[in-house]
Structure 1
Amino acid sequence: MDKGDAGVRLTQDNMLIEIDVPIAMDDGVVLRADIFRPVEAGNYPVIISYGPYGKGLPFQTGYKTAWDIMACEHPDAVAGTSSKYANWEVVDPEKWVPDGYAVVRVDSRGAGRSPGYLDHHSRRETQDFYDCIEWAGAQPWSNGKVGLNGISYYATNQWRVAGLAPPHLAAICVWEGYADRYRDATHHGGIACTFQKNWQEMQVKSVQHGRGDNGPRSPLTGDTVCGPSTLSEQEMEHNRSKLWPEIIDNAFDGDFYRVRSADWAKVKVPLLSCGNWGGQGLHLRGNIEGFVHAASEQKWLEMHGGSHWALFYTDYGVDLQKRFFDRFLKGKQNGWEKQPPVQLQIRYPGEKFVLRHEGEWPIARTNWSRAYLYGETLVAEAPQGGAAQVTFDATGEGVTFRAPPLKESLEITGPLAAKLYVSSSTVDADVFLIFRVFDRAGDEVVFQGALDPHTPVAQGWLRASHRELDPVRSLPYRPWHAHASAQPLVPGDIYELDIEIWPTSIVIPAGYSYGLTVRGTDYEYAGPAATLSNMKNPMKGCGPFVHDDPEDRPSDIFGGKTTLHIGGRHAPYVLLPIVPPKQES
């Protein structure tokens, strides 16, 4: 092992490894990167990632329960590797370097071994990522083609940097990465999601640059994961953005969120977008919207289920990624162009998935069907009776409308939407929609979500004062809310609400039924809560994506009574994407 100002250099496990390689930014700040590449001299395509989770922190240490679940349920994810270089949400170099790739991991500004001011998803971070891509593409061991790959933070920043069109950028694989900072992440239907507050505390502050001796050490080098200096808590706080106060202060969409979101018209690089049906609350929406709206002429969508992290490392995930990158980074004629634009893992109860390819999203043969709310049921035809009302306590469990048991199986795959007519006892109301499935005994069927093992089929949200639609961007199956200003309610007056429900896939067996729950608080699973070591609170059905901040949801406004108006002039419904079987050619 050699150690100098340029970092550590060693050869082991048939890789040439360089630790803490300096990459100078245009403002003089020097970021630090780890590089894994073949021992044999040559020019190799580069897989690069840039993010805040500490490149020297082992997956097994920093995210122990997630690692244990993956190793138990997906043994192929940890097969064929020593896992010594495994790192949360980025590729395992031992699975890529033997196939002729160079893997570069960069600690983002202010995180891990990279100094500077930590400002998540900012314009500065995006420019840093651009500079790192260009640096990697110009190295003597690079073939000049750089690909981006990684999960979550390492995926969402791909949307933004791809919009800057770095010349060396050749392809991106956005694996469970949101695109719209406001709609996908911080505010669901205009309601603030507290995940961001807890995320920074649990996953970022623990590896912020300057933690030094107060933080973890790398088992590879024995050095501190979070830089050589040990700063005070006051200095650490001064060196990072005030994430949650910024979100609360920016309650509406605008420039603050636009610079932290994708500009799809500028994303033109070959694209593989991989989303998770269970990713309600963060990445799911962005993966689909990004695929649909990106300007890339060569783009593909893949949708799967299961946990947020595991499938990325499995044989299924790695094979998909390598076929994509082999084509666009190595120029290999491997038949990737024959890959259909849409690859779906169609979901069935019991965590069963069946692979199917489609030519577009939404699926062209979809039968868009309305299920109308009536009494306590969902019916196929608009009810003709007189006006009726259903009132519920906004802090309670709400009301559930259930369709009768199915006579034959039914596939619902695609985006959903609802139209409701609502009045409130106060000047506002938060509406939470949960699309649910019930088995023959009447028990709810839940699934392994991205994080929570007891996730319902689909969810949607809307703050009634944010009901204004963008008429240009709205679609019947995907309302698009402007979130530009508040339009308070007059207590007792009736308002029409169009509510987006994030996409899903489920084949409901005969004898099962489906339903829609309307409530004023987050969904809660009736069984025991689940935990992950990197999550602050037990998960009760929505994972960490809950909406319970008292500053955003004061009880005097959002703790009143909400009334649904049904019948007469009002015909509320949920729009379902019912997909018939493919016709054999």
Structure 2
Amino acid sequence: MYDSNTTFREIENEWITMSDGCKLAAKIWLPESADEKPVPAVLEYIPYRKRDFKAIRDSKIHRYFAQNGYAAIRVDMRGSGDSEGVLEDEYLPQELNDGIEIIEWIAAQPWCTGNVGMIGISWGGFNALQIAAKDTPHLKAIITVSSSDDRYADDVHYMGGCLLTDNLSWASTMFSYNSLPPDPAIVGDKWKKMWLDRLEGSGLWLRKWLQHQRRDEYWKHASVAENYEAISCPVFAVSGWADGYSNTVFRLMENLQVPRKALVGGWGHKYPNFVGKGVGIDFLREATRWWDRWLKKIDNGVDEEPMLRLWMQDSVSPLISSCPGRWIAEKNWPSAKIENQEFYLSKGRIHLEEDEIKNEDMRIRSPLSVGLFAGKWYSYSESTDLPHDQSEEDGGALVFDTPELEEDIEILGSPEVELELESDQPIAMIALRLNDVCREGTSTRVTYGLLNLAHRDGNENPSVLEVGNTYRIWIKMNYVAQNFPAGNKIRLSISTSYWPFAWPSPEPAALTIKSKGKLILPVRPKNKEDDKLPDIGEPVLSEPIRSTLLEPAKREWTVQHNLATNEVKQQIINNDAFLRLDDINLEIGKETTEVYSYLNNNYNTVRGEVESTRSLARGDWKIETLTRTVLTSTPTHFQIRAILDAYEGDTRIFSKSWDDLIPRDMM
């Protein structure tokens, strides 16, 4: 199972004291010989509770690093898990300053050589990039997984100036996490005061995020795209095509000036070693090779390999969750091998030649049902959260098809669409989907793009449309690697809504699309050198901590249309397994239900609701928290209603509610 037989010990909790006196809780996996022979260290720094909810996952990763000669450190951020303080938002200056102090503390330990790396997925991938852009001399390399260089343009909050409903979902996730106390077994009698401080002080993050609907200074802070040159250590960037964060990988490869490497596979929002066989890889081995090169200074050839290793996806039915394909590589990015091929749009057709096209206007005003089968923005590649058959979406869209392909077409990059259009509303959105249509008629979404047309000239200074004016717009879709096989068709679908993936515009809008729009595909010729790439193995994990399954996880994703009331609902059940962590005799549980709905295709009735329950129990100590957030809108405002209830045993010890109106900012 392991690449080496290094023995290690686990330090369940170590306090790291910040310069202001705040104590942060760390768990450490340390090679036994490190006291005599210091080792490099790998830090993961996140708010997801090392003691309980991430304990099993952490043990599978960080034991591996310790087995391979690294000190592994997992730190609960200030205000999370067992650490002191209150967590008030993402990526605040305090978080980044704490991270720098943690790295300096690690580097100064007698068991450390002074060389430190950071690894993280999602939040931990973000702050690894952000801290790498600070003056942190002991940070020698990072591995950033499923992260973003631009917090506004490519994160869970907004896309193309459109409000993502995952903004609500993610805010609710952190609302629930932030409601939990530290473990009395770690912090002692002060646990309850720490808990009450969190309950009172963490706040409603959704309100903060909705107060910034354009790319202002709030989002520019901690967006490394503002200054790529600030990053001075080597960067290994990783993502999956089913995830929402794959675009960042390509921008980092193009803009960074340091040694860098990219890996994008056929998975979702997960570390690649937690993905099933056939798609997942031996990611921990790849990570260790990266650390060996930059933390141990072993000349193992990592920096001489192709810059990008990418999964070229094959055609697959949308009714199954597998992702067949093959590995390809690119020496540099952008790649000189890729040529942009232009296709032209007419009513229902995609043409290779512009002179084949008649001048015909095409009008579209989509029903709110377009988007019910879109899946999740940052999919975990579960069978429930991937996009379903796009044929069910296309009845409410303008659809453009190629003839059946005479030969395979493979693309790698960001497809673009150029359109001339008019709108009958001053604020409107447009959603584009690029689909692979097989001969049997099923349609698989390959990539997509969204644009709030008020953001057509950028995300910082939006402006309304003038009704009746014609505008030329360009929309970039997400990066992708895809093979369209001979006999299939390539389809472009255009709609004016994508609910509940994205929040709809204030009023229903009809767009008039002019003929001779362009679809630009980044075509990559097949390369025989790809067949010679070395194997990167199947997933390998270290032995996890002991746990007992008390109740299995439950994942459901259903769509219901009540024909009597004309109400449409999408319901998502996302319940984690109910477990007992045997070594600390702690029972943990999390249940979440999300419901997105509308009535009579009325934009004023769209509604998102997320309810979560979390529990901790050990003997007579029983904790339960309930969070519920509801988001609705009018043409002029968003409305947030939220509640937080916290129970110790059967006694409710805290309750708070919110009811806020936030003006829409051309959103």
TM bucket, shorter chain: 0.7 to 0.9
Q: 2:492 aligns with which of 516, 531, 536?
A: 516
- What letter is aligned with 1:501? M
Distance across 2 between alignment mates of 1:231 and 1:382? 70
**Unpaired stretches in structure 2, ≥5 consecutive residues:** 1-5, 275-279, 317-322, 369-395, 531-667
Structure 1 distance, partners of 2:410, 2:305, is 24
| Structure with larger RCO (C-alpha < 8 A, sep 6+) | 1
The corresponding residue for 1:437 is 436
The 5 Å alignment of 1:427-576 reads 427-445=426-444, 456-468=445-457, 482-522=458-498, 546-548=501-503, 553=504, 555-556=506-507, 559-566=508-515, 571-576=516-521
Distance 1:373 1:231 in 2: 63
> Residues 256 and 310 (structure 1 numbering): CA distance in 2 closer, same or farther, change over 3 Å?
closer
| Aligned partner of residue 256 in structure 1, secondary structure | helix
Question: Measured at CA, do residues 438 and 463 of structure 1 come closer, stay the same or move farther in structure 2, by a change above 3 Å?
Answer: same
- Work out the CA distance in 2 between the residues paired with 1:190 and 1:225: 43
- Aligned pairs, how many? 481
TM-score (ref. length: structure 2): 0.68
> Structure 1 stretch 301-310 or stretch 146-155: which is displaced more?
301-310
Secondary structure at 1:269 match in 2: coil
CA–CA distance in structure 2, aligned partners of residues 55 and 294 of structure 1: 32
- Deviation per CA, 1:482-522, whole angstroms, max 9, x where unpaired? 31222111122211111111100111111011111111222
The CA distance in 1 between the partners of 2:250 and 2:288, in whole Å, is 21
Residue 77 (structure 1) aligns with: none
- Summarize deviations over 1:51-103 as a string: whole Å, max 9, x none: 111111244xxxxxxxxxxxxxxxxxxxxxxxxx5336x96122111111110
* Worse overlay, 387-396 or 406-415: 387-396
2:364 to 387, 392, 398: 392
* Structure 2 residue 80 is matched with structure 1 residue 111: yes
Residues 35 and 227 of structure 1: is their aligned pair in 2 closer, same or farther, counting only changes over 3 Å? Answer: farther
Structure 1 247/395 Cα, relative in aligned 2: closer, same or farther at 3 Å? Answer: farther
The 8 Å contact of residues 292 and 298 in structure 2, kept in 1 or not, is answered as: yes
Closer, same or farther in 2 for the Cα pair 1:225/1:368, shift >3 Å? farther
Identity %: 23
- From the two aligned structures, give the one with the greater strand fraction: 2
Distance (Å, rounded) in 2 between the aligned partners of 1:402 and 1:17:
58
Once residues 162 and 324 of structure 2 are traced to their aligned partners in structure 1, the CA distance between those partners, rounded to angstroms, is 33
Q: Which residue of structure 1 aligns with residue 42 of structure 2?
A: 47
Counterpart CA distance in 2 for 1:572 and 1:368 is 15
What letter is aligned with 1:198? S
The 2-side partners of 1:336 and 1:233 are apart by 45
Of 195, 198, 202, 1:236 maps to 198
Which of 331, 350, 373 is the matching residue for 1:359?
331
- Does 1:426 find its partner at 2:371? no
State which of 160, 172, 175 in structure 2 corresponds to 1:205: 175
1:502/1:329 Cα in 2 relative to 1: closer, same or farther (>3 Å)?
same
> How far off is 1:210 after superposition?
5.5
Between the aligned partners of 2:486 and 2:187, the Cα distance in structure 1 is 54
Q: Secondary structure at the match of 1:196?
A: helix
Aligned CA distance change for structure 1 residues 431 and 581 (closer, same or farther; 3 Å): same
Shift of 1:18: 1.6
Q: For residues 233-312 of structure 1, what are the structure 2 equivalents within 5 Å?
A: 235-262=197-224, 263-280=227-244, 283-296=245-258, 298-312=259-273
CA contact (8 A) 2:455 2:463 kept: yes
Preserved CA contact (<8 Å) 2:421 2:472: yes
In structure 1, runs of 5+ residues without a counterpart are: 1-12, 60-84, 446-455, 469-481, 525-545
- Distance, in Å, in 2 between the alignment partners of 1:148 and 1:227 is 33
Give, in angstroms, the shift of residue 312 of structure 1: 3.5
In the alignment, is the contact (CA less than 8 A) between 1:20 and 1:113 conserved in 2?
Answer: no
Shift of 1:14: 4.3
Q: CA deviation at 1:150?
A: 2.0
- CA deviation profile, 1:374-422 (whole Å, cap 9, x unmatched): 1101111224655321111243522111111111111011111111112
- In the superposition, the TM-score normalised over structure 1's length comes to 0.77
Q: Secondary structure at the match of 2:415?
A: strand
Contact 2:79 2:198 in 1 (8 A): no
Alpha-carbon distance between aligned partners in 1 of 2:60 and 2:128, rounded to the nearest angstrom: 15
Q: Partner of 1:75 in structure 2? A: none
Name the CA shift for 1:29/1:232 in 2 (closer, same or farther; >3 Å): closer
Compute the RMSD of aligned alpha carbons. 2.5
Q: 1: CA distance between counterparts of 2:398 and 2:53? A: 45
* Aligned match for 2:346, one of 374, 385, 395: 374
Q: 1:264 to 1:226 in 2, by over 3 A?
A: farther
For 1:259 and 1:191, how far apart are their aligned partners in 2?
20
Letter in 1 for 2:460: A
The one-character-per-residue Cα deviations of 1:346-380 (angstroms, maximum 9, x if unpaired) are 11124213122211223211120112111101111
Change over 3 Å in CA distance of 1:142–1:499 after alignment to 2? same
